[in-house]
Structure 1
Amino acid sequence: MRISLFGGTGRVGSLLLTKFLDDGHHVTALARNPEKLPVHPNLTVIQGDAKELAAIATTILGSEAVVSALGTDKTTTLSEAIPHMIQAMKDEKIKRILTIGTAGILQSRIDPEQLRYEAGDSNRKLTAAAEEHDAAYRALSASNLDWTIICPTYLPDGEPTGIYRTEDNRLPLEGKQISTGDTAHFAAHELIACNHLHARVGIAY
Structure 2
Amino acid sequence: MASTTYSPSPTTPLNIAVIGATGFGGSWLTKELISRGHRVTGLSRHPEKLGIHPLYTPKQLDITSDITVLAAAFAGFDVIVDEYGPHAAGFAALKYMPFLEVTRRVILAIKLARVPYFIKVGGTGSLHLPGQPHVSVLESPQWWLDYRRGIADSHAHVTYMEERLGPSGVALRGYRNARLALKAGTAGEVEEKVIKTYEQEVKNRDAAMEFVTACRTSFMFFEGRADFAWSFVSPSSLYRPGKRTGVYMWAYDVLPLKGDRNSAEAMEGRLHGISVADLAVAIADEAEERRHVGRHWTAWADLSDDTPAPSYVRIDE
Q: So what's the TM-score if we normalise by structure 2?
A: 0.59
Give the C-alpha shift of residue 42 in structure 1.
2.4
Residues of 1 paired with 2:116 and 2:75: CA distance? 13
Please list the CA deviations of residues 101-122 of structure 1 after superposition, one character each: whole Å capped at 9, or x if unmatched.
1111101227331111123452
Match of 1:190 among 279, 286, 289: 286
Aligned to 1:13: 26
Please list the CA deviations of residues 66-88 of structure 1 after superposition, one character each: whole Å capped at 9, or x if unmatched.
10111243145532222222222
Q: Which amino acid aligns with 1:14?
A: S
Equivalent pairs, count? 205
Runs (4+) off by over 4 Å:
none
Match of 1:180 among 272, 276, 279: 276
| Comparing 186-195 and 21-30, the one that deviates more | 21-30
Contact preservation (8 Å) 1:72, 1:129: no
Contact preservation (8 Å) 2:72, 2:113: no
Residues of 2 paired with 1:168 and 1:127: CA distance? 23
Contact preservation (8 Å) 1:108, 1:121: no
Q: Which amino acid aligns with 1:40?
A: H
| Residues 1:166 and 2:179 are matched in the alignment | no
Pair 1:25–1:61, CA change in 2 (3 A): same
Give the superposed CA RMSD. 2.1
Please list the CA deviations of residues 88-138 of structure 1 after superposition, one character each: whole Å capped at 9, or x if unmatched.
222222231112211111012273311111234521624212222123211
| Comparing 138-147 and 164-173, the one that deviates more | 138-147
Residues of 2 paired with 1:67 and 1:19: CA distance? 13
Please list the CA deviations of residues 53-73 of structure 1 after superposition, one character each: whole Å capped at 9, or x if unmatched.
355223312111110111243
Name stretches of at least 5 consecutive residues in structure 1 with no aligned partner: none
Match of 1:70 among 75, 79, 84: 84
Aligned to 1:118: 139
Aligned to 1:90: 111
Give the C-alpha shift of residue 184 in structure 1.
0.6
Residues of 2 paired with 1:121 and 1:106: CA distance? 15
Task: Specify which structure has the bigger relative contact order, considering alpha-carbon pairs within 8 angstroms and separated by 6 or more residues.
Answer: 2
Residues of 1 paired with 2:298 and 2:122: CA distance? 9
Aligned to 2:63: 50
Give the C-alpha shift of residue 8 in structure 1.
0.8
Q: So what's the TM-score if we normalise by structure 1?
A: 0.89
Residues of 2 paired with 1:110 and 1:120: CA distance? 17
Q: Which amino acid aligns with 1:180?
A: V
Q: Which has the larger radius of gyration?
A: 2
Residues of 1 paired with 2:130 and 2:280: CA distance? 25
Residues of 1 paired with 2:277 and 2:76: CA distance? 28
Name stretches of at least 5 consecutive residues in structure 2 with no aligned partner: 1-13, 88-93, 145-201, 259-270, 302-317
Give the C-alpha shift of residue 44 in structure 1.
2.1
| Comparing 158-167 and 179-188, the one that deviates more | 158-167
